[in-house]
Amino acid sequence: MKKNLFNKYLLVACIGSAIAFSGCRKETIADKVGGQAMDNGKSFVGFPDGLEQQHFFDPFTNIKTVDVFSIKRDAKSAADLQKDQTVVLKAIPDAIDKYNENNDTEYELLPTSLYTISSTKVTAGTSGNLNAKFAPGDFQNYFTIKLNGSKFDLTKKYALAYIISDAAGLTVHAESKDTLYTFFAIKNKYDGEYHSTGTFHHPTAGDRAIDRDKTLTTAGATSVSTEIGDIGGSMTLTVNEATNEVTVSGNVSATQPLLPVPGLTSTYDPATKSFILNYRYLGGGGYRVVEETIKHK
């Protein structure tokens, strides 16, 4: 999606020294009109930070206050800034499924049990919609929530989706006419992009080298998930932070669990941000044994 250029637009037209109101402020370079409100003789509304907004957190169990997104009114004049206007943001949860299909992601709708709305200017409407109220002098409002970390499922990623359905007589910025997505996920310190090297030992076919990029995704406070060796599927790596030993768990199939290799351990090296793994599973002809080092890029 295009990054919103709305920050370049002047939010308030401070006309003459004789006109004074609370929305007037010193103009900065970032605020200069970019051919919108003042040049076109219209007042606009939109999302200044773009249509895809990510919120990633370290694991937490308390209540965290989060400014989810902001919405701005780009008034063409002092008179327009003094209007009382309420913009309606329609909730479109089905858009999350479409986003997943188009981007190969697995976001779920952020359940209302995980948060409460704490903003006074962007409040709950009907059917999950939001009402963004611009009182006289308001030019930017925030949708703010209190997110309950103790209820957050670390194995899941969540999202909210809205579109401006009633602009209250304002013109919607071209960059803000599509769906606004906000994403929420917990990322522990092991989450990220890695490169894997090692050897897959097959009891009858012999050895083969492992050399591939991997993504490690948060699965718990000290756990991440990734593919098994170079065969796909999913395994979970859980770090004991007192000893840096790693437990490898997962299943190649219902009858093929991942097991430790006798006499060897799996560890995490915090200095190199590497997982040094030894694990195996039973198949036809005997055990497949994987020696693998997964190093952070």
The 10s digit of each residue's pLDDT in 68-87 is 999 999 999 999 999 999 99
CB atoms inside a 10 Å sphere around CB 220:
17
**Cα–Cα distance list, 15 to 20, 24, 45, 246 (Å):** 8, 9, 20, 65
Mean pLDDT of 174-178: 95
Which residue's structure tokens are 């055990």?
Answer: 287
pLDDT at 12 over 50: no
Q: What percent of the chain has pLDDT over 90?
A: 82
In this prediction, residue 83 carries a pLDDT of 95
- Identity of the residue numbered 74: D
Q: How many CA atoms lie within 13 A of 175 on its CB side?
A: 19
Q: Are 25 and 12 in contact (CB under 8 A)?
A: yes
pLDDT at 281 over 90: yes
Confidence label for 155 from pLDDT (cuts 50, 70 and 90): confident
DSSP symbols for 130-199:
EEEEE-TT--EEEEEEEEEGGG--TT-EEEEEEEEEE-TTPEEPGGGSS-EEEEEEE--TT-EEEEEEEE
Q: How much is the mean pLDDT over the chain?
A: 88
SS3 206: strand
In this prediction, residue 279 carries a pLDDT of 98
Mean pLDDT of 233-255: 96
Q: Are 282 and 289 in contact (CB under 8 A)?
A: no
Q: Which residues of 267-295 are buried (b: 16+ CB within 10 A; e: fewer)?
A: bbeeeeebbbbbbbbeeeeeebbbbbbbe
Confidence label for 45 from pLDDT (cuts 50, 70 and 90): very high
Residue with the larger pLDDT of the pair 40 and 123: 123
SS3 99: helix
Lowest mean pLDDT among 39-48, 133-142, 211-220, 267-276: 39-48
Q: How far apart are CA 181 and CA 205, in angstroms?
A: 48
Mean pLDDT of 221-228: 95
Q: How far apart are CA 186 and CA 158, in angstroms?
A: 10
In this prediction, residue 40 carries a pLDDT of 62
Q: Which residues pair with 35 in a beta bridge?
A: none
pLDDT at 5 over 60: no
Mean pLDDT of 32-46: 62
β-pairing, 286-296 vs 274-283, is antiparallel
CB atoms inside a 10 Å sphere around CB 70:
18
In this prediction, residue 296 carries a pLDDT of 98
| Global pTM value | 0.72
In this prediction, residue 41 carries a pLDDT of 81
- Give the DSSP letter of residue 75: -
Confidence label for 29 from pLDDT (cuts 50, 70 and 90): very low
